[in-house]
Structure 1
Amino acid sequence: MPLAETSSGTLAYSDQGTGPVVVLLHATLHDRTDYTDVAAALARRYRVIAVDWPGHGDSPAPAQPLSAVLLADVLEQFVSVLELRDAVVVGNSVGGFAACRLALAQPSRVAGLVLVNGSGFTPWTPASRAFCALMGHPGTIGAVFRGLVPLYMQATTVKDRDVAARVLARARTRAGRQTAASLWRSFPDPAADLRPLAGGITSPTLITWGARDRTLRPSWGRAMHHAISDSAYVEFDTGHLPFTSDLQGWLGVVEPFLERVLARD
């Protein structure tokens, strides 16, 4: 398992295949193994790199509290360490926020974006801010995730259920609760709101959305589509991870996009 050293800590990642680069980024309390089947399929044509965020999977926890903005900073450092350019970055949930931030900060490193029920475009209200503040307590994570994970996963496949079980197991640990709480506290930070910056995203973007997710509304995905000028939007009858619920359907949309933006000379 390769490791990358950044100023924000050590990142574990997988690296398979050769060719144009695809980077895979996961959600809070998830890990890179969410993408095992995706990576296996794409590695036939591409170099596929799947990252464990700090404090997730095989990556140790960072010295400072995690936040959405910190993950975006870590991603910038990671692609610099690996000298990646012209990559398609696939980001699920908070991974989608980090992917967009990279496209804004270092557009030469991003050939395209695939956002999967991504964050950063939430219309904040007093109620949603209060919910994030509540979720910012580790004790709340332990209690609420038992109901929250089924709500957003909407598991229908064996892979869905495996992912949900891993997330719930992490939420039962002290480290997992602290990690999730720290990230949830950070979500309403103005620096994590991409809406005012969306016009600066010039990378071709494919937005894929699991419409049965009960935590991230499809209307937010459509708003993301309208905000990013060069974007397409596709809904799936799935939960938060269309690529584990409907792998072939999701690949059927994503692979033509990759072919277009990563076309070899």
Structure 2
Amino acid sequence: MMQSIPTRAGDVRCEINGAGSPIVLLHATLHSRHDYDAVIPRLSASYQTIAIDWPWHGDSYRPSADGRPTADLFGEVLEDVVTFLDLPPAIFIGNSVGGFAAARLAIRHPARVKALILVNPGGFVTLDWITKIFTHLLAIPLVNKWVMPSLVWRYMAPQSELDKAISTQVSELAKTDVGAGIAASVWKSFLDPSFDLRSSASSIKAPTLLIMGKRDIVIPVKVGHSTQRLISGSKLEILDTGHVVFASKPDDFVDVVEAFIREV
């Protein structure tokens, strides 16, 4: 079932499947809810899955040119979605900027979060001078348009047919002025102090599972190790994939996720 949900950034579209305890699925920049297509059938057999398209992404509303997609705005949109749907404490699976939004919700509204599954998440990267320069460059639309189409294939390290389809779609979008503008704006927001969740990570009390794809060059495995140290009691799983673990190895991913859910 598709549903349109009003938020402060305009309507967002989400796909709802199954019944039971809710699992909210959050995707990366320039990606879409379809990143989760390979795992939704298994997860929705036991749970209600809610796969969201961020504003400016997928089938969601594209605000005017005056609007600016940022990581913080996605976090606010997530708050609006869970409020509108009046969800009970839910499990959140967040990839990349989606992981940032899920962790931000656990910090600011802990009663909303039953458990966190953070997949190569943003918000916990140490910005050394090299990372800062790289981020500043990708915050420039012209540079982003030149770099992102090839960077996508590097961080995805595609293995499955879905991986390849995602890489192709995101790479083609990144070549357009619209796509480069969206990506550059989100990358620029990575430099905002509010994007750095490391100092607040200790306040995350929800059971947390970190899943890292060891072939990801944008958010490498070392970020998973450092994040595990920051979030008390969190667990870390490393799979031989790129950035979108659940598209590369869906069965392995769901096996790990379901074992974690049963445990918590």
What is the TM-score normalised by the length of structure 2?
0.96
CA distance in 1, matches of 2:12, 2:233: 31
Partner of 2:124, secondary structure, is coil
252-261 or 118-127: which moved more? 252-261
CA distance in 2, matches of 1:172, 1:217: 25
CA distance in 1, matches of 2:84, 2:263: 27
Match for 2:10: what amino acid? G
Give 1:250's aligned residue. Answer: 253
5 Å matches for 1:115-194? 115-194=118-197
CA distance in 2, matches of 1:21, 1:74: 17
**1:92 is aligned to 2:95:** yes
Q: Retained in 1: the 8 A contact 2:23–2:49?
A: yes
144-153 or 111-120: which moved more? 144-153
Give 2:198's aligned residue. Answer: 195
Structure 1 residue 161: deviation in Å? 0.2
CA distance in 2, matches of 1:40, 1:230: 29
Give 1:101's aligned residue. Answer: 104
CA distance in 1, matches of 2:233, 2:22: 20
Partner of 1:226, secondary structure, is helix
Structure 1 residue 260: deviation in Å? 3.1
1:22-58 Cα offsets, whole Å, 9 max, x none, are 0000000000000012111101010000000000000
Q: Unaligned regions of 5+ residues in structure 2, if any? A: none
Give 1:62's aligned residue. Answer: 63
Match for 1:11: what amino acid? V
Give 2:80's aligned residue. Answer: 77
Give 1:211's aligned residue. Answer: 214
Structure 1 residue 230: deviation in Å? 2.3
Q: Retained in 2: the 8 A contact 1:203–1:230?
A: no
5 Å matches for 1:27-42? 27-42=28-43
Q: Unaligned regions of 5+ residues in structure 1, if any? A: none
Give 1:16's aligned residue. Answer: 17
Identity %: 41
59-68 or 180-189: which moved more? 59-68
Give 2:51's aligned residue. Answer: 50
CA distance in 1, matches of 2:201, 2:76: 18
Structure 1 residue 226: deviation in Å? 0.7
CA distance in 1, matches of 2:198, 2:9: 26
1:60-98 Cα offsets, whole Å, 9 max, x none, are 223420111111111111110111121000000000000
Give 2:235's aligned residue. Answer: 232
Partner of 2:93, secondary structure, is strand
CA distance in 1, matches of 2:149, 2:34: 21
RMSD: 1.0
Q: Retained in 1: the 8 A contact 2:157–2:215?
A: yes
Match for 2:13: what amino acid? A
Match for 2:32: what amino acid? D
Q: Retained in 2: the 8 A contact 1:12–1:51?
A: yes
1:172-217 Cα offsets, whole Å, 9 max, x none, are 2222111100000010211000000001000000000000111211
Partner of 1:29, secondary structure, is coil
Structure 1 residue 127: deviation in Å? 2.1
Give the length in aligned residue pairs: 261
Q: Retained in 1: the 8 A contact 2:72–2:195?
A: yes
239-248 or 202-211: which moved more? 239-248
Match for 1:212: what amino acid? R
